[in-house]
């Protein structure tokens, strides 16, 4: 039981940090990030459909960045750890 709680807290922290990074990208004018990311922290961390949606959004975002820029440099913030 304690391990499940610890895992859930870890998931929430990770997705919260990712959501903050997404919000930062949107605030800095990244129109692709604004267009793609819709899944909230709680849904991404606590539900299977939210987790899957967040994964799909990340893939779509990287694909859009590569199509627009010719490389994935702008998506580098996704690999901040």
pLDDT by 10-residue block (mean), the chain, 81 residues: 92 94 97 97 95 97 98 91 56
The pLDDT of residue 79 is 85
- The domains of the chain are located at 31-81
Q: Is there a contact between 32 and 7 (Cβ–Cβ < 8 Å)?
A: no
The two tokens of residue 41 are: 């922290």
Closest CA to 46 of 12, 70, 4, 17: 12
The pLDDT of residue 61 is 98
């Amino acid at each position: 039981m304690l391990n499940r709680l610890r895992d859930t807290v870890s998931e929430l922290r990770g997705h919260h940090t990712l959501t903050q990074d997404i919000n930062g990208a949107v605030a800095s004018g990244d129109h692709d990030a604004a267009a793609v990311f819709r899944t909230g922290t709680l849904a991404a961390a606590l539900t299977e459909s939210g987790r899957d949606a967040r994964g799909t959004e990340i893939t779509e975002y990287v694909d859009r960045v590569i199509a627009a820029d010719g490389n994935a440099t702008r998506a580098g913030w996704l690999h901040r750890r």
